[in-house]
Amino acid sequence: MLALGAAGVAALSGCGQEATRESDNLVNGKQLFVAKCGSCHTLARAGTKGTVGPNLDAAFKQSLRDGMERSTVRGVVEHQILYPYTLRNQTTGTQMPAKLVKGDNASDVAAYVAHSTNRTGQDTGLLASAVKQAGAGKPIAEKNGVLQIDADPTGQLAYVSKAATGTPGKVTFKMQNKSSVPHDLVVQGPGVTGKTPIQVNGSTGQFTATLKAGNYTYFCSVDGHRAAGMQGKLVVK
């Protein structure tokens, strides 16, 4: 996560590069931001709602109003990606791994954040379709007593679908998480609270519960993930 603050902005306020360069790939920057950074940061244009790290729309809002160039935003973000320890979050004590993305990829992510931060509206053109909408898959149906609700493989804070259906009786819930962002699956409803262990990097967790007819909620209990929208509705009938 990016631990941004006034000290970091001041340290790089002399950066003179353009917010975007001819060599930048903003589509790649958006895709990498969503996959690597979106679980910790809110950035409206990227559709991410992470709450662990700073809100990247709010982080530069006042500075941009005061006349900061987006080229400086780019420099701050790229420096923080490469050298996060120099801007450790003094409030939470947390920090992201150094060089979470590297080389041209780090430049692309920084360029996309600088292009998008504190902008109203939505991405257009190729950027609009660079990342599929989180949780937009078809409803998931129970099959032979198994209901598999996987985490979004791109790293977004979502499951592959926000809706599922099942029948009363014993059901085994499974969740595979192909992303590097840790997730679990919690199901709550009439007389039932079940939870998989946290999964990451392709692993699959499961648990078995006996369901009654009714409405259930499923969600991720990792800090900040449910609040960011990682939940759905299960209808059992």
Same domain, 56 and 123: yes
Any domain includes 203: yes
Same domain, 123 and 32: yes
Same domain, 15 and 60: yes
Same domain, 27 and 105: yes
Mean local confidence (pLDDT), 181-207: 96
Domain boundary among 92, 108, 129: 129
Same domain, 98 and 211: no
Could you tell me the sign of the dihedral formed by the alpha carbons of 95, 100, 102, 108, in that order?
negative
Same domain, 177 and 97: no
Same domain, 34 and 122: yes
Any domain includes 134: no
Cα angle, residue 199 at apex, residues 193 and 203 outer, rounded to 5°: 125
Structural domain count of the chain = 2
Mean of all residue pLDDT scores within the chain: 87
Q: Which residue shows structure tokens 């709450």?
A: 51
Residue 5: the pLDDT is 40
Same domain, 92 and 144: no
Mean local confidence (pLDDT), 2-26: 54
Residue 4: the pLDDT is 47
How far apart CA 146 and CA 136 sit, in angstroms, is 21
Could you tell me the residue range of the domain that residue 156 belongs to? 140-236
The model's confidence at residue 18, banded by pLDDT at 50, 70 and 90, is: low
Residue 85: the pLDDT is 61
Does residue 92 register a pLDDT over 70? Answer: no
Domain boundary among 129, 148, 176: 129
Domain boundary among 77, 109, 129: 129
Same domain, 149 and 225: yes
Q: What is the 3-state secondary structure (H, E, C) of the chain?
A: CCCCCHHHHHHCCCCCCCCCCCCCCHHHHHHHHHHHHCCCCEEHHHCEECCCCCCHHHHCHHHHHCCCCHHHHHHHHHHHHHCHHHHCCCCCCCCCCCCCCCHHHHHHHHHHHHHHCCCCCCCCHHHHHCCCCCCECCCEECECCEEECCECCCCCCCECECEEEECCEEEEEEEEECCCCCECCEEEECCEEEECCCECCCEEEEEEEEECCEEEEEECCCCCCCCCCCEEEEEEC
Any domain includes 135: no
The CATH number covering residue 42 comes to: 1.10.760.10
Residue 8: the pLDDT is 41
pTM: 0.74
Q: Which of 49-53, 176-180, 203-207, 211-215 has the lowest mean pLDDT?
A: 49-53
Same domain, 121 and 167: no
Same domain, 23 and 105: yes
Any domain includes 226: yes
Percent of the chain with pLDDT over 90: 68
Does residue 56 register a pLDDT over 70? Answer: yes
Q: How far is CA 98 from the centre of its chain?
A: 18
Same domain, 116 and 178: no
pLDDT for 98-154, tens place per residue? 888 999 999 999 999 999 999 999 999 999 999 988 888 899 999 999 999 999 998
The model's confidence at residue 29, banded by pLDDT at 50, 70 and 90, is: very high
Residue 2: the pLDDT is 57
